[in-house]
Amino acid sequence: MTAPLIDPFARPISYLRVSVTDRCDFRCVYCMAENMTFLPKKELLTLEELDRMCTAFIGLGVRKLRITGGEPLVRRDILTFFQAISRHLDSGALDELTLTTNGSQLERHAADLAACGIKRINVSLDTLDEDKFARVTRWGRLPQVLRGIDAAQKAGLRIKINTVALKGFNEDELFALVDWCAARDMDLTFIEVMPMGDLGGEDRIGQYWSLDDVRAQLATRSPLTDLAERTGGPARYVRMEQTGQKIGFITPLTHNFCESCNRVRLTCTGELYMCLGQEDWADLRKPLRNHPKDDAPLRAAIRAAIARKPKGHDFDYSRQQVAGQMTRHMSHTGG
């Protein structure tokens, strides 16, 4: 029962993304509907259950743990979870504990996160224009996020900015974002918008901006060198030779990144999604709660789920229709 997790395509599963809440203080147009119905509290895993679940995965060979949401830092007492799970960093069982955040709560939590052994974080930020930021997040305030980034850097956290490439929205800010990140010594990764969730009429095809085009535009300013570096996720990196800056591309639509997938996603209700772009999932909450003193059934359920992991997703914008669209919101699985 301690053998590492290997999927049907001989890929070791060493990276777990965990959504600790479906709630968020933003309503980004590509992630959530404006008027969301959130889950009742009793359906969510408690922080103690999340700890037990993550510990089971770590015991089966997971080496990297990324905490997501919704917005993970809006969950009540979430710092106690980070403090508890950091024991696996201290023991050497876990290589990295990190999180993806919208930055809204970083100003008050950054120092405590660093104290838990977190070295780097991802901050989602699609624009540096305050009015556009309010429009894309619906509820967000850019100055609050920028103060959070300041606090995170002051606490010694390494920051990577994640920017969703949105046609007609942030195309004109490409080099402004690149220059801003370079000036602050932050890495930058662009993400293609993914066809997930019914967002009240949002035009997925109209939003889609191919990262092939982003890369071509970047190359007009500086030669780009492909890097072999991998950080455990789906991004592929280049170096802008003019500045030495590292730029990442997550391209689920332009270039399928599934061949080396080493990750699975756990929702805040204990659903394990073996692929972000497929609907198949496994219920891990049931064996967790039905056997509060015995993790063997939970480990068996995890292994059975990994045995169903597909080769890849079906996202496709060809023929001007959103083939492979997922009905669940991005916030449900944590990205």
27 is an annotated ligand-binding site residue: no
The answer as to whether 233 is a domain residue is no
The answer as to whether 209 is a domain residue is no
208 is an annotated ligand-binding site residue: no
Q: How many residues does the chain have?
A: 335
140 is an annotated ligand-binding site residue: no
Q: Are 304 and 3 in contact (CB under 8 A)?
A: no
Q: Are 99 and 152 in contact (CB under 8 A)?
A: no
246 vs 189: CA distance, rounded Å: 9
126 vs 161: CA distance, rounded Å: 9
28 is an annotated ligand-binding site residue: yes
Q: Give me the CATH number covering residue 288.
A: 3.20.20.70
31 is an annotated ligand-binding site residue: yes
Average confidence (pLDDT) over 177-199 = 83
Q: Are 237 and 247 in contact (CB under 8 A)?
A: yes
Average confidence (pLDDT) over 44-60 = 97
Counting residues of the chain whose pLDDT is more than 90, the rounded percentage is 70
Amino acid identity of residue 139, one-letter, is: W
232-252 confidence digits (pLDDT tens): 667 899 999 988 999 999 886
Average confidence (pLDDT) over 101-126 = 98
160 is an annotated ligand-binding site residue: yes
pLDDT of res. 1? 58
The answer as to whether 8 is a domain residue is no
Task: Using pLDDT thresholds of 50, 70 and 90, give the confidence band for residue 29.
Answer: confident
54 is an annotated ligand-binding site residue: no
Average confidence (pLDDT) over 201-226 = 84
State the chain's mean pLDDT as an integer: 88
116 is an annotated ligand-binding site residue: no
The answer as to whether 65 is a domain residue is yes
For residues 70, 74, 76, 80, the Cα torsion angle rounded to the nearest 10 degrees is: 90
Does 73 have pLDDT greater than 90? yes
The answer as to whether 297 is a domain residue is yes
261 is an annotated ligand-binding site residue: yes
268 is an annotated ligand-binding site residue: no
17 is an annotated ligand-binding site residue: yes
249-292 confidence digits (pLDDT tens): 988 655 455 667 889 999 999 999 998 767 789 999 999 999 99
70 is an annotated ligand-binding site residue: yes
Q: Which residues of 37-59 are buried (b: 16+ CB within 10 A; e: fewer)?
A: eeeeeeebbebebbbebbbbbbe
Q: Beta 245-250 vs 187-192: how paired, if at all?
A: parallel
First vs last C-alpha separation in the chain? 29
The answer as to whether 165 is a domain residue is no
199 vs 183: CA distance, rounded Å: 35
Domain range enclosing 49: 15-159+260-333
Task: Using pLDDT thresholds of 50, 70 and 90, give the confidence band for residue 298.
Answer: very high
The answer as to whether 281 is a domain residue is yes
46 is an annotated ligand-binding site residue: no
The answer as to whether 306 is a domain residue is yes
Number of structural domains, the chain? 1
pLDDT of res. 199? 45
